[in-house]
Structure 1
Amino acid sequence: MSHPVSGLGEFALIRRLAARLGPARRDVVVGIGDDVAAVEVRADRYLLMTCDAQVEGVHFLPGVTPPERVGRKAAAVNLSDIAAAGGRPTHFLVSLLLPPDTAVEWMEAAYDGIAHEAALFGADVVGGNVARAGQLALDLTLLGEVERDRIVRRAGARPGDLVLVTGSPGMARAGLALLKQPAPGLADEERRRLVDAYQLPVPRIREARAMGDVGGVTAMIDVSDGLAADLGHICDESGVGLRLLARSLPVDEGMGRLARSLGVDPLEWVLGGGDDYELALTARPGRAEALQRAVHDATGTPLTVIGEIVPREAGRHLVLDGGQEVPLTVAGWEHFGAGHP
């Protein structure tokens, strides 16, 4: 009897497949289950490896997102994984899965987008593959490197650590909403910012490197599935609980106005929107202010304290403005669910 992958979900499927593998080689420092794999290649640094795809109709809207932006985002989501480990990107491999009727001009523009985004962060496109397929997809592999004493993983958060996030999660979800339905009352500049947040996420490579210069980050992940879901991954890997403060969550003004106009609580998008590619992290309390200053001085990006890590048995809660604690629900991205587009 066969069982569809949709019945398992993404993370249960990953665990099931990983269980079929034998022990990793001795040079594997980080294997399946983190943002990137890390392999020891030199005494002072690790080789980082990640891969991610953009599939038409699943990750981008056909006929809506310009091809150059599809290519840039395909590169950016991989760059974001390298950022979450505190590393530097170096080399891309690009696998193109193309239906026979794919326009050459569309593909050239998408490839230009990949090359442009890679160059922004000092990485090169060095090879790849082209294959015929029933659905268009850009499947990228990215290599990077990180100093041995600066690698950051999902595991490592400890009770007493503060929880922080870069930028304003939820903006990508707002941008997707704008692409799917008109919303009056937003200025053109606000509309552009929100759509850009969805189509052109900024990988936080420079922010992560600035944090590495300061030190004190104990765990980190990029926000691809939703802030609550991704912080949940840190809790799972670190064996800890979580308290988030609703009043401290950064709510972009335009995003909040759009959400309310559509009858949505803005915190739903902040906590569960996904596709933001911000960095969520934990840090020792005595380092938080220095980390905030370093990131702002280096990049201008805000780094906001939004909660704290607690013992596992304390659970995961959201503290409302009145002080009431409610269970932190996870409603982020699920690859084998309906998907965003």
Structure 2
Amino acid sequence: MQIYNEFELIARLTHGLTTRPDVALGVGDDCALLDIGSDSQLLATCDSQVEGVHFTLRTSTPEQIGRKALAVNLSDIAAMGGVPRFALISLVIPPRFSQEALEGIYRGLRQEAERHQVAIVGGNIAGAGQGKQLMLDITLLGTVRRGQAITRGGAQIGDVLCVTGSLGDSAAGLFTLLHPDGTGAENALTFVQARHRTPVPRVAEGRVLSAFGPAVVTAMLDISDGLSGDLQHLCERSGVGARVFAEHLPLTEEMQAIAARVGKDPLDWALHGGEDYELLFTLRPEKAREVIEAVQAQTGTRITRIGEIIPSGMCLIAPSGTEQPLQVRSWDHLH
């Protein structure tokens, strides 16, 4: 039997699906975009978190697990420039899982929902039978003003490539949780572990960006699988390539200190680590300064220009100026 990677399998399973006239955008982006006949369009996304794959009770508290489970869905809404509104939570529960831990997960879900004015409106509970892993599946609905949704497919040659926040912190945090001995100073550990356990979805930033519209902010997605892999998704959907400047990548002092302590390359974590849940987006060059200043002024979040859109291929420019192909080594759920 042939084993596909995650995105090949999605394409194979969804090829030829029946659609409807009110589906403005279906499979292939951070959210589906649906026409509900008003000044706004509906955004719909879902995401599963599996114990032992996405989280463990050894490295996170139940509250942290709940917060992150909703945050990764909120990040999808942010990536389209939308406002999150309604969530449905499904749990598949193994026999051994304690009620106390489940209540803790729901406390975390409620905390994250309240931060973003999201109503949890339903869901489902099922037993896992002989299965030993807890599974959380969340469906999140949001809205975006008609004409302002930002997709992955609009990047143009000459656009400026930007990212919110910093890269590689979550990968560093996961490393320190899996290798707890001698990985760095306490303040650095606290910072990167929080970035891994409780990521902050860039909802406010996404809304500021979408207000400029897709003629200015031409493409956007969130960095969940790693910069290299998610940039590849953006390029494939837009039919373009990208040039990334290594020395421009935003790296925190905390992440770099831990990388130095454990003999890891911080650039590797930044390019391929995943779960940063920052926004990766492209701007028309003549509007780049205005957009960047607006996001930073309204949200306080740092925006960094990390590259540019080119006709084809993905390349990395080293600090020395040498150019090399940008290899994709990001998360794949099936491997």
Q: What TM-score results when the alignment is normalised by the length of structure 1?
A: 0.94
- Matched residues in 2 for 1:299 and 1:153: separation? 21
**Structure 2 CA distance for aligned equivalents of residues 214 and 40 of structure 1:** 21
Identity across matched positions, percent: 48
Match of 1:197, as an amino acid? R
Amino acid at match of 2:323: E
Equivalent residue for 2:281?
A: 281
Which of the residues 24, 28, 38 maps onto 2:23? 28
Pair 1:68–1:91, CA change in 2 (3 A)? same
Give 3-state SS (helix, strand or coil) of 1:42's partner: coil
Q: Which amino acid aligns with 1:298?
A: Q
Equivalence for 1:302: 302
What is the RMSD computed on CA atoms of the aligned residues?
Answer: 1.2
Deviations 1:92-112 (A, max 9, x none): 000011012210010011011
Q: Alpha-carbon deviation of 1:259?
A: 1.4
- 1:220-299 equivalence runs, <5 A: 220-299=220-299
Equivalent residue number for residue 8 of structure 2: 12
Measured after TM superposition, the shift of residue 20 of structure 1 is 4.8
Q: CA deviation at 1:323?
A: 1.2
Counterparts of 2:60 and 2:268 in 1: how far apart (Å)? 24
- 1:161-194 Cα offsets, whole Å, 9 max, x none, are 0000011111000000110113537332221110
Which residue of 1 is the match for residue 110 of structure 2?
A: 115
1:122 shift after superposition:
1.2
Aligned partner of residue 142 in structure 2, secondary structure: strand
The answer as to whether partners of 1:183 and 1:258 remain within 8 angstroms in 2 is no
TM-score (norm 2): 0.96
What is the count of residue pairs matched by the alignment?
A: 330
Matched, 1:152 2:144: no
Q: Determine helix, strand or coil for the equivalent of 1:176.
A: helix
2:96 is aligned to 101
Shift of 1:26: 0.6
Deviation readout 1:266-303 (Å, 9 max, x if unpaired): 11000000011000001111222222222222221101
Distance 2:79 2:110 in 1: 21
**Secondary structure class of the residue paired with 2:235:** helix
Native 8 Å contact 2:163 2:305 kept in 1: yes
Q: Is the 8 A contact 1:163 1:307 kept in 2?
A: yes
Describe the SS at the equivalent of 1:125. strand
Is the 2:176–2:183 Cα contact (8 Å) retained in structure 1?
no
Separation in 2, partners of 1:185, 1:256: 12
* Cα separation, 2, equivalents of 1:132 and 1:64: 24
CA distance in 1, matches of 2:211, 2:153: 20
Q: Give the match's secondary structure for 1:59.
A: coil
Q: Provide the rounded CA distance (Å) in 2 between the counterparts of 1:35 and 1:205.
A: 13
Q: 2: distance between equivalents of 1:154 and 1:137?
A: 28
d(CA) in 1 for partners of 2:94, 2:258: 37
5 Å matches for 1:303-318?
303-312=303-312, 315-318=313-316
**For each residue in 1:196-218, what CA deviation from the matched residue of structure 2 results, as whole angstroms up to 9, or x when unmatched?**
00000000000111222344210
What SS does structure 2 have at the residue aligned with 1:46? strand
What is the aligned partner in structure 1 of residue 73 from structure 2?
Answer: 78
What letter is aligned with 2:184?
A: L
- Name the CA distance, whole Å, in 2 between partners of 1:206 and 1:195: 23
Gaps of 5+ in 1: none
Other structure's SS at 1:243 match: strand
